[in-house]
Chain A
């Protein structure tokens, strides 16, 4: 509790608070008695010729309530933080209240997720309640990158197709959500000899998926592709263990065409999916993975 520059300020603020409280009571007592001035019960003040200030006493319960509020204020300051940096007898802090609320929310949530525990993703994907929860979790946590329709965009994988960088079983998806992924491709221009070789390899890569390419260049790039094959495989089919993309399909995560491929080969690529294990509970990740699995396996209800 160091919300002041030094202890002196804390003492000063506390003193002002206490003096104000006491002053309120003092004012009530001082203002409670008055010597009547005129015989008609007025104070003798007259405005506009006929407007007198009469003695209209306040009800006693009002005065009692006033005193009660003063003491309630004192009691509050004793129990809760508010008097300078005095932490209060109850030891309340906003942080602790937040943690209590979180714990309570988790408890309430656990009941919601209990029926899904241990159920395989195939079964959850048919459960409308689970998929409703999954959809909301996805929109709140994943849609920012992968899009509300989960079809991704440049640099962010499409989750609705059957093409998976790391594999598409529910267990792997769960691991991806939990731990995040770091997709790394080093700059390869040096390894394949640089210069024209980069363009040749790019054309060879295009040829793998039957995309439009310069077949002469592709022929030249074929042997240089050996350096790439270490990760992408000899046939360019990719390697889920490394997260190396399949180069033989029409899915182009980082852009399509010779220019885009040249850029990646030259500069490399480092893509990041953040880990969510600290943000989501295990039960949430389980349901969310089932939802994501259902996106590409068409079993999710209502889609």
Chain B
């Protein structure tokens, strides 16, 4: 529980307090250790992907390109059309259930290790340390009057921050505009208004969020932070201080026996508060501000090593485990509880469906649209003809030829051009007339009758044959 110190009020007239307070700047102390290393691994992984992907090429185009104008998403070999939006939905559901699952098991891992806010803050903090030093030096520098020393350090930091922010903005827009064109345009000052806006907007957002807002984003803006607590239960692994081991706190000599002094293992060095990026004291128990970054775990383990006490005074533990003094095995057994099993089940199901539908995805799509002007017409000697428009969408990056046949009605033939060529990642309309002989028409009688279009991709050197069958109706007039 956080206690906000309040100046004792006079008896007669209680002083009111201002409810909107200035942000107290937090100067997190640098930390090394197991979890810090993991965080840096995640920083490298995510940022190599983010900054690197736009530069990769594939089939003589950017490997990943979201071409909004042409409404095509290119992801390596995949070409996604607007009709494939269901895959994005599936991806979002998978992400959501993934989040639910490991939040239920191990708390806010996403927040502490892979969230862009955390990752960029980590990078910006690293820059800040290079220019201004660690926590104490930074605090002194902030309090000091302006001098040459302070000026160059602050300016250098700002310049580096802005450069990183700008580069992040450029990389972001590089997913929508081929990045080599983009950098060329920037070099020649020929950037379009929208691209300029998004480069600057995304760049400034990175600079502002990672440089200034930092923990404020997690505390006041982030929607995930609000609902992740709903996935916690007493068996969720969270960063916890072990009060039974730690209390009573107090400093002591390294040689002294704490039991004799009536003390617990916590030496009250306050390092866990100094390293906390959200500025809380984990020893007060679980708080909504905690993003599970485990910086306090790392720093406390270091202190325990120095004191030659066992590690784990602050550790990942479940509330039940702490209270009942469970062993590791007992805690792990509780991982397989209904909530986790349901999340895993749904996740596996949707991920399976996603992968299967991706693998079975047809390399082209067809829409059949009946002509609305005239339902049917009579041609020649009593034959009935219906007209359709077929839209064929080629989801490969090679020109393809398609042939259309019709089935489901006796003697139905296509009386117009029955093949068409569609260019790379293109879509084309083909008007198709279907003709039915007089005998069939009379046998069927007036009304709408089902028929099927079979569209076959012609086998050529690069791609195997593929088939799509689409249903439609055939109208016989009265």
Chain A interfacial positions (CB closer than 8 Å to B): 31-36, 39-41, 52, 54-55, 57-63, 135-136, 139, 143-154, 156, 302-303
Contact = CB atoms under 8 A, between A and B. Distances in A.
A36 B429 contact: no
A156 to B, nearest CB: 7
Given A139-B389, A148-B431, A154-B374, A59 B14 contact: no
Contact of B429 (A135, A144, A153): A135
B16 A54 contact: no
B433 interface: yes
B381 to A, nearest CB: 10
A57 B373 contact: no
B373 A144 contact: yes
B431 A149 contact: yes
A63 B20 contact: yes
Contact of A60 (B2, B14, B21, B431): B21
Interface in B398-439: 416-417, 420-421, 429, 431-433
Contact of B432 (A55, A146, A149, A153): A149
B17 A61 contact: no
A36 B374 contact: no
Nearest to B8: A39
Contact of A148 (B5, B16, B216, B387): B387
Residue of A60, A146, A153, A154 with highest tally of chain B CB at under 10 A:
A153
Given A34-B17, A35-B16, A61 B373 contact: no
Contacts of B14: 35-36
A95 B4 CA distance: 56
Given A32-B18, A149-B433, A302-B421, A55 B4 contact: yes
B374 A60 contact: no
Nearest to A57: B21
A62 B387 CA distance: 61
Contacts of A39: 6
A98 to B, nearest CB: 21
A153 B17 contact: no
A61 B374 CA distance: 64
Given A144-B373, A149-B433, A36 B416 contact: no
A145 B372 CA distance: 9
B19 interface: yes
Given A147-B371, A148-B388, A154-B374, 15 more contacts: A32-B18, A32-B20, A36-B17, A41-B4, A41-B5, A57-B17, A63-B20, A139-B389, A143-B373, A143-B389, A144-B372, A148-B429, A149-B431, A153-B373, A303-B417
A54 B4 contact: yes
A206 to B, nearest CB: 15
Contacts of B220: 58-59, 62
Given A148-B431, A302-B420, A156 B20 contact: no
A210 B226 CA distance: 84
Nearest to B7: A36
- Residue among A34, A61, A135 facing the most chain B CB atoms (10 A cut-off): A61
Contacts of B216: 59, 61
Contact of A34 (B19, B23, B374, B378): B19
B377 interface: yes
A111 to B, nearest CB: 16
Given A41-B3, A148-B387, A302-B421, A139 B429 contact: yes
Interface in B367-390: 371-374, 376-378, 385, 387-389
B432 to A, nearest CB: 7
Contacts of B15: 35
A300 B3 CA distance: 82
A34 to B, nearest CB: 6
30 contacts: A32-B20, A33-B17, A33-B18, A34-B17, A35-B17, A36-B17, A40-B3, A41-B3, A41-B6, A54-B2, A55-B19, A57-B17, A58-B19, A58-B21, A59-B21, A59-B216, A59-B220, A60-B21, A61-B23, A61-B216, A62-B20, A147-B371, A147-B431, A148-B388, A148-B389, A149-B416, A149-B431, A151-B385, A154-B377, A156-B373
Q: Across chains A and B, which 6 residue pairs bring their CB atoms closest together, nearest first? A: A153-B374, A148-B431, A63-B20, A153-B377, A149-B431, A57-B21
B23 A59 contact: yes
A39 B9 CA distance: 10
A286 B389 CA distance: 24
A189 B220 CA distance: 86
Contact of A147 (B18, B373, B378): B373
A60 B16 contact: no
A118 B263 CA distance: 98
Interface centre among B4, B14, B20 (most CB of A within 10 A): B20
Given A60-B23, A139-B429, A147 B16 contact: no
A40 B417 CA distance: 84
Interface in B1-49: 1-6, 9, 14-23
B371 A143 contact: yes
Contacts of A136: 429
Nearest to B477: A154
B475 to A, nearest CB: 12
A31 B431 CA distance: 67
A56 to B, nearest CB: 8
Contacts of B433: 149, 151
Contact of B20 (A40, A59, A151): A59
Nearest to B14: A35
B17 A148 contact: no
A147 B434 CA distance: 13
Contact of A31 (B19, B376, B417): B19
Interface in B257-293: none
Interface string B218-234: 00100000000000000
Contacts of B16: 33-36
Nearest to B421: A302
A36 B1 CA distance: 17
A118 B18 CA distance: 75
A176 B433 CA distance: 26
B387 A149 contact: yes
A60 B24 CA distance: 10
A148 B389 CA distance: 7
Looking at B23, B371, B373, the one whose CB has the most chain A CB atoms below 10 A away is: B373
A258 to B, nearest CB: 16
Contacts of B416: 149
Nearest to B21: A57
A107 B388 CA distance: 34
Interface centre among B19, B216, B378 (most CB of A within 10 A): B19
A9 to B, nearest CB: 38
A32 B19 contact: yes
A203 B421 CA distance: 47
A151 B220 CA distance: 65
